[in-house]
């Protein structure tokens, strides 16, 4: 895929998301002009950019949808719930057309049938359109002869590029090529008068222009639409070639009148006679009134707006995520190299080298923070997409649901946001299908007719917590346990806590649904949901009360690349603990060690905490130093003590994936390289806590 196509795909995806967001917003909160305008602009943008790539199917469909949106914007057609649903289907179909066009595949029968059906519905709502005429002209403002046949008009188009045109990222040749969709470029010439000498030439600046003779049935405004996205970066004049007065007016506005007239005549656009006034004196030798093709006041206002816009302009730059990943990897190597320098400085007892290393460490931390901020995105954009899923699922199931989003401004690594999207979608569908009751059931249970599903996000102790809460009927723990026993997942003699029973829904193939629906209920998803979350070094928990509802709590790391860690040693192995999960460190006195021998708990200021001995857990053998410490960990509502040998202090670390040997080692999430070249393993604290709790129970 070319770079241009990638940009088109990103931009169209963005525009389609705008459309969906605006439609869902109006569906929930009522119609407003701002969202209607956003809807029209999004479809118009897709039509324009698709045309540059000659994606005819996309352009044709988008134009018909745009026509109806134009009528809605002009308040000639009311945007009813029925129309909102239609435009949501149009958004989905446009997505399919774009996908097929980019893959250069012929449109299959299913997409073609959908296209014909949607076009017929759009035309039904569009005033003045024929329901049967789906192949009607894409452009409606055409000149018509007395016998009702559209006439070709010969236009002159003068297109001058402003100096910073190339910064728009647009290709002027694509724009000119797109004109051929509206008619035919009869003649064209490149204006090169303003190209500077070599010593003053800047390759990123534009110095040329184009003069075009163009035959089309389209109006001037429709031709101008081709250049809509670059109007601020070009000088554009459009007039009919036989309109002598407009030609003269245009020439009179130019500084270099004679050279322009000479250029137009020599290239065959006009003749000498075209530039002579009624008094038969050449226009280029007599001053004429300056009559702009646009109203003078309008020009002044637009220029003022443009100047203000320029003052407050902030540039955005699209960068492939792979390039940011590469930058992070290179920075990771710098972190490791600096750790080696710091270690060498300690060995040599070189104060100056230690100071330089410390300064470098601070700078690396600053760069790391900046780079990681580039990767951070607000979860709200991703959450908003789920509104459509909730609405569609609720309609299919005949349920009334209010979907609430909280904490949309919370930031999370873009990679994590992308990978958590599918698990969240599946869990939301489960809440709607299995959790929320029908309106009749809710009324019978003394609840409001409309159910509530809340999706929220907030930061907590170096992690991001995402919660899905519904006020439905809750999980039936007896039914879950019965199914689990029947499928041999648990033994019928086992005693399980409520949380352990609820966790059984993540077992592969377990489903408590009485009947399968196309929303959920096949038991082929929740195990995948849990696995996907764990692959992100996250955890998922369930809390439920029968008759009151359920809460799914997901905890995720802020980033997958670099963490602030705490370096410890147990036996012969060094480990890294994520710093944000450490509450405090305490040294175990010999007397206290003797007192707690064989005990799995520690009394910390009258608070009893579970204690996990790393040496015992990983069969590390005896302590080399004879000294032992406890690192007190906190993860969500859980606390635990980790018994270790040595404490080395804070350590900025780069997370490296481990090989297949470590796949089944629970409690280890990755590894890193220390300054000495040694490997340190990174603890998966949630897993260690889970293992300890299971051991206690």
% of the chain exceeding 90 in pLDDT: 11
- Give the Cα separation of 227 and 42 in Å (integer): 16
Residue 519, pLDDT score: 56
Tens of pLDDT, residue by residue over 315-364, are: 566 677 778 878 877 877 787 788 788 888 888 888 888 898 889 888 88
Q: What are the CA-CA distances from residue 628 to residues 130, 376, 616, 639, 640 (Å)?
A: 85, 39, 13, 19, 16
- Give the Cα separation of 435 and 474 in Å (integer): 6
Of the listed ranges 116-125, 470-479, 627-636, the one predicted with least confidence:
627-636
The pLDDT confidence band at residue 368, using thresholds 50, 70 and 90, is: confident
The pLDDT confidence band at residue 693, using thresholds 50, 70 and 90, is: confident
Query: What string of DSSP letters covers 89-138?
Result: HHHHHHHHHHHHHHTTPPPPHHHHHHHHHHHHHHHHHSTT--SS-TT--S
Residue 148 clears pLDDT 50, i.e. is over it: no
Residue 146, pLDDT score: 41
Residues of the chain with CATH 2.30.30.40: 562-696
Q: Which CATH number fits the domain 377-557, given the four candidates 3.30.9.10, 3.30.565.10, 3.40.1050.10, 2.40.128.640?
A: 3.30.565.10
The average pLDDT across 637-666 equals: 79
Tens of pLDDT, residue by residue over 71-121, are: 888 888 899 989 998 999 999 999 999 988 888 877 788 888 999 999 999
Residues of the chain with CATH 3.30.70.1110: 153-286
% of the chain exceeding 70 in pLDDT: 83
Tens of pLDDT, residue by residue over 126-146, are: 887 655 444 433 333 344 444
CATH of domain 562-696: 2.30.30.40
User: Is residue 269 packed enough to be buried (19+ CB in 10 Å), middle (13-18) or exposed (0-12)?
Assistant: buried
Q: Which CATH superfamily is domain 3-125 in?
A: HPT domain (1.20.120.160)
Q: How many helices and strands in the chain, by DSSP H and E?
A: 21, 21
Residue 607 clears pLDDT 50, i.e. is over it: yes
Q: Give the residue, 132 or 168, on which the prediction is more confident.
A: 168
Considering only the top CATH level, what class is 153-286? Answer: alpha beta
Residues of the chain with CATH 3.30.565.10: 377-557
- Angle formed at CA 294 by CA 290 and CA 295, multiple of 5 degrees: 80
Name the average pLDDT for the chain.
80
Residue 516 clears pLDDT 60, i.e. is over it: no
Q: Give the residue, 241 or 324, on which the prediction is more confident.
A: 241
- What is the distance of C-alpha 374 from the center of its chain? 13
């Amino acid at each position: 895929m070319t770079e241009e196509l990638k940009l088109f795909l990103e931009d169209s995806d963005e525009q389609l998301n705008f459309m969906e967001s605006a439609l869902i917003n109006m569906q929930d909160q009522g119609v407003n002009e701002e969202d209607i305008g956003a809807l029209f602009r999004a479809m118009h943008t897709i039509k324009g950019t698709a045309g540059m790539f000659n994606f005819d199917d996309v352009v044709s469909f988008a134009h018909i949808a745009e026509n109806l949106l134009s009528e809605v914007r002009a308040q000639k057609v009311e945007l009813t719930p029925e129309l909102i649903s239609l435009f949501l289907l149009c958004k989905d179909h446009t997505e399919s057309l774009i996908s097929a066009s980019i893959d250069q595949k012929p449109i299959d029968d299913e997409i073609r049938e959908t296209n014909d059906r949607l076009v017929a519905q759009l035309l039904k709502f569009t005033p003045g359109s024929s329901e049967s005429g789906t192949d009607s002209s894409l452009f409606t403002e055409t000149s018509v002869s007395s016998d009702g046949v559209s006439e070709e008009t010969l236009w002159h188009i003068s297109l001058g590029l402003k100096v910073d045109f190339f910064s728009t990222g647009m290709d002027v040749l694509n724009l000119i090529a797109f004109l051929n969709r509206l008619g035919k470029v009869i003649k064209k010439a490149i204006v090169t008068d303003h190209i500077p000498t070599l010593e003053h030439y800047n390759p990123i600046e534009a110095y040329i222009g184009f003069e075009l003779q163009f035959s089309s049935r389209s109006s001037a405004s429709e031709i101008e639409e081709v250049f809509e996205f670059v109007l601020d970066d070009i000088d554009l004049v459009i007039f009919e070639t036989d309109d002598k007065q407009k030609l003269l007016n245009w020439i009179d506005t130019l500084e270099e009148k004679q050279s322009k007239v000479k250029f137009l005549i020599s290239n065959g656009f006009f003749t000498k006679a075209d530039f002579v006034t009624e008094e038969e004196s050449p226009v280029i030798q007599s001053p004429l009134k300056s009559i702009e093709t646009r109203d003078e006041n309008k020009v002044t206002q637009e220029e003022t707006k443009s100047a203000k816009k320029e003052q407050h302009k902030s540039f955005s730059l699209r960068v492939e995520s792979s390039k940011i990943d590469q930058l992070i990897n290179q920075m990771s190597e710098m972190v490791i190299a600096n750790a080696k320098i710091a270690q060498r400085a300690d060995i040599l007892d070189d104060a100056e080298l230690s100071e330089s290393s410390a300064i470098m460490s601070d700078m690396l931390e600053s760069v790391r923070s900046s780079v990681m901020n580039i990767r951070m995105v607000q979860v709200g954009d991703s959450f908003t997409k789920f509104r459509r899923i909730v609405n569609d699922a609720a309609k299919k199931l005949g349920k009334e649901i209010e979907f609430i989003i909280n904490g949309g401004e919370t930031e999370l690594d873009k990679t994590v946001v992308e990978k958590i999207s599918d698990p969240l979608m599946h869990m939301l569908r489960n809440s709607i299908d299995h959790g929320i009751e029908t309106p009749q059931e809710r009324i019978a249970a003394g609840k409001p007719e409309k159910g509530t599903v809340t999706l929220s996000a907030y930061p907590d102790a170096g992690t991001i917590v995402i919660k899905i809460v519904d006020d439905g009927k809750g999980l039936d723990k007896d039914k879950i346990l019965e199914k689990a026993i029947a499928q041999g997942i648990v033994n019928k003699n086992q005693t399980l806590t409520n949380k352990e029973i609820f966790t059984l829904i993540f077992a592969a193939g377990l489903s408590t649904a009485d009947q399968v629906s196309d929303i959920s209920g096949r038991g082929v998803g929740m195990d995948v949901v849990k696995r996907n979350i764990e692959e992100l070094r996250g955890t998922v928990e369930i809390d439920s009360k029968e008759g009151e509802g359920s809460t799914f709590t997901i905890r995720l790391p802020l980033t997958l690349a670099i963490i602030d860690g705490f370096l410890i040693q147990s036996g012969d192995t060094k480990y890294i603990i994520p710093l944000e999960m450490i509450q405090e460190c305490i040294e175990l006195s010999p007397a206290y060690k003797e007192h707690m021998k064989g005990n799995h708990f520690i009394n910390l200021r009258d608070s009893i905490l579970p204690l996990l001995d790393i040496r015992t857990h990983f069969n590390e053998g005896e302590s080399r130093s004879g000294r032992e410490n406890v690192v007190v960990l906190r993860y969500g509502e859980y606390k635990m003590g980790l018994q270790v040998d040595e404490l080395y202090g804070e350590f900025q670390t780069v997370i490296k994936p481990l090989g297949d040997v470590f796949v089944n080692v629970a409690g280890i999430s990755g590894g890193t390289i220390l300054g000495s070249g040694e490997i340190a393993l990174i603890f998966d604290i949630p897993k260690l806590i889970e293992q300890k709790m299971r051991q206690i129970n």
